[in-house]
Structure 1
Amino acid sequence: MAVLLTGGTGFVGSRLCAELLRRTDGAVVCLVRAEDVAGAEQRVRSALKGVDEDEDVAVSPRLRAVPADLSADRFGLSEHTYRQLADEVDAVYHCAASVHLAASYERVAPVNVGGTRRAIEFCTTGTPKHLHHVSTLGVFLAAREAGLPRVIESTEPTFRTCGSFGYLRTKVGAERAVMTAAADNGLAATMYRPGLVLADSRDGAAPVNDFTTCVLAAAIVTGCYPTALGSLPASTVDHTAQAIAALSLAPGAAGSVFHVMRPKPLPMRELFERACEHGHRLREVTAQQWRDALHAHRANPWARAAHTLEICTYTLGLTLECRPPEVDGDVTALAAAAAGVVVPETDATYFRRLLTRLQQDHRESLSNP
């Protein structure tokens, strides 16, 4: 069994790549944005070295990298290479996305929607392939405002449930493309909707553009945080990757939708309370006072980034009306438990590890301007 993976150098994708190498016996072929094969190999193997303690994974001969462009026809591959891959691969894990929370729909749609359509086309070329599509629970971020205070795996996302945010609208569009192909063309497809992806439970690692990193760092820089009324479905990045891999290989996965999250949602104020426990002196302020503080510290990149993220109104739940909905993932939790997936603790020790890593990696940026 050979599988094709997009997004294998990303936060979730690199860990999913490691899990697929551990759990399958065939080749894992990664499409990577690079100038040539050597560059693609270097990128994906470097990503694996940085996220996995198992050195054998990063040097596995079953790992292959192909330079590609998801926004181009045939992924930018030659006709010969494309057809060869289409005949070799029998499953596609589409994890790649342009994640820019403040971007317009037009900016990120070529990769997020166009790339998904090309993944669908690839799945229906040559040997029929199973598409494992990684979406996001963010497609329901504005569901409460749209009249849905609670969502479950079978709830269908719409452009109303995701709000006006360009990135989330592209994820709804991508899901619709997958569902249409499954209904009209018989595509075997499975949908995975991770919640807020938290730092790795093993070492506290998170990318510099991570949402949690951004709001925590902004609070530390400004010395304050807003009254947060929302709770978000969430899980650590390592659990997210493990769950997707395990669920994808379980019998009967085709046609399923999974909400990949820890059993209980994360109250967003807990992020700031954990920072206080870690020794940061933060005061709780109103939403407007927080925005004013961010503006006053706009010379700092963290404060400037948080100030431009209108999505914070919904993710943090800065008003009662804009709180995220309740998200049910019971069906997924049962399936993941049956597949042997263990949910890591996100307790005080975990957040201490996360905050320590944040300080170590970004000490200079966390200082007040």
Structure 2
Amino acid sequence: MSILFTGATGFLGSRLLYALLVEEGCEVTALGRGTPATLRARLVASLTGLAGGPLPQSALDRLHCLPGDVSRPRLALPPAHYSRLAGRTTEIWHSAADISLSAPLESLRGTNTAGTAHILELAEYAGQGCRVTHVSTAFVAGRRRDGCMAETELDDSAGFETAYEQSKFEAERLVRVWAQRWDRPVTVLRPSVLVTGSRPEEGAPQHPFGELGRRTEKSSGVFGGVTGRVRLPLLPEGTINAVQVEYAVQAMLCLAARAPDTPGVSTFHVVHPVDTPVRLLLEAIENRHPGLRLEQVARVTDPDPAETLIAAQLPDFLCRYGMQRRRYERSGLLSLVPELTDPPPLDASYVRAALGYGPAVRGATRTGATA
């Protein structure tokens, strides 16, 4: 098996790459920007941080680095290199994405939508035996606030909270059209907000909760200078579906290995069965800044200066996804990987660790589930 992997330098991608190389023993070609030497140095540093020490030489020998760009035709590779890559690739993991929640749609489409189209072209060239796993997002559900999102559902009638969601929706739609046109199987994985209770290495990709914690620490002058009640434009009963990345990686590896080989798209939500109350995040910030009381209010029509300042420090994921109450179907994952234990709910100690306020907490343990 020879895997082409995109997005290996990302928060999720680096962990998937580590699992494929070290735990699964796969041969992996990582496509990314930079020279082969600089790309390899970045990846080895990231993987070493995840391992907590040097990687086995056998894993390093299975890692191949290829400069390229998913946003450009033929991945910006010379024709001969592109042909050789297609000829040796038996499986593709497409995890590369621009995850900005504030970037304009046209910019996001370059990586998220056109990039997916370019990867599918390579899969077509690689031949019928090349299996594709596409990492999407649970938030292709867009602005739909209530109800249960089915795994088979791909509907844009409610619109989107962000251009990121729309670009990923369009990418999934391309995947479905391609699979039907070429009579090929594709596995689509839809994670929700990915978090970890472990502190990332300096310079390593950050996760959304960690980014929130970083903002509040950088803005300690703003938060620390305010006491009393501060209203924030957040649904009072708001929750966020956040899932431990350690659990998500286990689930994704198993799903990719066990998904049907029959033509068509098999879609799986990789989400937490229990939503995390936004209140837990706010309480962690309050504990960090004694005297501050953050109150969730559906709409703040007359914010005072302190409320305006603090609301500006909240990342987009909290303001947008904390207004949702929808659920996600998980029957596909549960039927294919019944032995994988559900992750524990995110409690106060985990949330503090994820924000970077407390000691590391393990979010999921291996349960013997293997691909």
**Shared fold, TM over 0.5:** yes
Q: What CA RMSD, in Å, does the superposition of the two structures yield over aligned residues?
A: 3.0
Cα distance change on mapping 1:164 and 1:337 into 2, 3 Å = same
State the partner residue of 2:154: 156
- Number of aligned positions between the proteins: 341
How far 1:244 moved relative to its partner? 1.0
> How much does 1:82 deviate?
1.1
Please give the alpha-carbon distance, in whole angstroms, between the structure 1 residues aligned to 2:325 and 2:304.
20
What are the within-5 Å matches in structure 2 for residues 89-104 of structure 1?
Answer: 89-104=89-104
Secondary structure of the equivalent of 2:121? helix
Residues 106-117 of structure 1 aligned to structure 2 (within 5 Å): 106-117=106-117
Structure 2 counterpart of 1:314:
320
2:182 aligns with 185
Shift of 1:276: 4.0
Map of 1:259-338 to 2, 5 A cutoff?
259-276=269-286, 280-285=290-295, 286=297, 287-288=299-300, 292-293=305-306, 295-296=308-309, 304=312, 306=314, 309=316, 312-317=318-323, 323-338=324-339
Corresponding residue of 1:363: none
Whichever residue aligns with residue 269 of structure 2, its letter is: H
Q: 1:294 deviation in Å?
A: 5.6
- Which residue number in structure 2 is paired with residue 22 of structure 1? 22
Letter in 1 for 2:151: E
Q: For residues 94 and 43 of structure 1, what CA distance do their matches in structure 2 show? A: 19
| Correspondences of 1:39-78 after superposition (within 5 Å) | 39-53=38-52, 55-56=54-55, 60-78=60-78
Note the alpha carbon deviations across 1:226-246, whole angstroms, 9 max, x for none: 344322322012222222112
Q: Which moved more, 1:217-226 or 1:61-70?
A: 217-226
Q: Secondary structure at the match of 1:69?
A: coil
Per-residue deviation, 1:30: 0.4
Q: What runs of 5+ residues in structure 1 fail to find an aligned partner?
A: 298-302, 318-322, 361-369
SS at match of 1:55: coil
Query: More displaced, 88-97 or 123-132?
Result: 123-132
Aligned 8 A contact 2:68 2:77 in 1: yes
CA distance in 1, matches of 2:56, 2:270: 24
Q: Per the alignment, do residues 345 and 151 of structure 1 end up closer, same or farther by CA in structure 2, a change over 3 Å counting?
A: closer
Deviation per residue, 1:176-225 (Å, 9 max, x gap) = 00011011211220110001111x23447796764333445449653556
Secondary structure at the counterpart of residue 64 of structure 2: strand
How many Å separate the matches in 1 of 2:110 and 2:181?
Answer: 23
CA contact (8 A) 2:31 2:68 kept: yes
Q: CA deviation at 1:312?
A: 4.5
Residue 237, structure 1, aligned to residue 245, structure 2: yes
Q: Give the deviation of 1:39 after TM superposition.
A: 1.3
Residue 29 of structure 1 deviates from its aligned partner by: 0.8
* CA shift in 2, pair 1:329/1:251, >3 Å: closer
- The CA distance in 2 between the partners of 1:57 and 1:161, in whole Å, is 48
In structure 2, distance between residues paired with 1:109 and 1:357: 35
- Check conservation: 2:209, 2:354, Cα contact below 8 A: no
Conserved? CA contact 2:48–2:54, under 8 Å: yes
CA contact (8 A) 2:31 2:66 kept: yes
CA change 1:208–1:62 in 2 (3 A) is closer
**Corresponding residue for residue 365 of structure 2:** none
Which secondary structure does the structure 2 equivalent of 1:163 belong to? coil
Of 267-276 and 171-180, deviating more is 267-276
Q: Is residue 154 of structure 2 the alignment partner of residue 176 of structure 1?
A: no
**Aligned pair in 2 of structure 1 residues 348, 313: CA closer, same or farther (>3 Å)?**
closer
Where does structure 2 lack aligned partners over 5 or more consecutive residues? 361-371
Task: Specify the alignment match of 2:144 in structure 1.
Answer: 143
The structure-2 alpha-carbon separation of the partners of 1:282 and 1:90, relative to structure 1 and needing over 3 Å to count, comes to farther
The aligned amino acid for 1:168 is E
Amino acid in the other structure paired with 2:160? G
User: Is residue 4–residue 29 contact of structure 1 (8 Å, CA) maintained in 2?
Assistant: yes
Name the CA shift for 1:190/1:181 in 2 (closer, same or farther; >3 Å): same
> How far, CA to CA, are the matches of 1:162 and 1:53 in structure 2?
43
Which amino acid in the other structure matches residue 201 of structure 1? G
Task: Measure, in 2, the Cα distance between the counterparts of 1:210 and 1:121.
Answer: 30
- Over the matched positions of the two proteins, sequence identity in percent amounts to 24
1:250 aligns with 2:258: yes
Deviation digits for residues 110-162 of structure 1, max 9, x if unmatched? Answer: 11101000110011113331110001111114113xxx62212122232x345
Between the aligned partners of 2:85 and 2:115, the Cα distance in structure 1 is: 17
Q: Which amino acid aligns with 2:278?
A: M
Q: Contact conserved, 1:278 with 1:355, CA < 8 A, in 2?
A: no
Q: Secondary structure at the match of 2:61?
A: coil
- Quote the Cα distance in structure 1 between the aligned partners of 2:274 and 2:32: 35
Answering whether residue 197 of structure 2 is matched by residue 201 of structure 1, we say yes
SS at match of 1:31: strand
Whole-angstrom distance in 2 between the partners of 1:270 and 1:330 = 28
Q: Is the 8 A contact 1:29 1:66 kept in 2?
A: yes
CA deviation after TM superposition for structure 1 residue 99, in Å:
1.2
Contact map agreement 2:212 2:355 (CA 8 A) in 1 = no
* CA distance 1:232–1:205, change in 2 (3 Å): farther
For the pair 1:346 / 2:346, whether they are aligned, the reply is yes
Give SS of 2:60's match: coil
- Deviation, structure 1 residue 64: 1.0
Q: What is the aligned partner in structure 2 of residue 366 from structure 1?
A: none
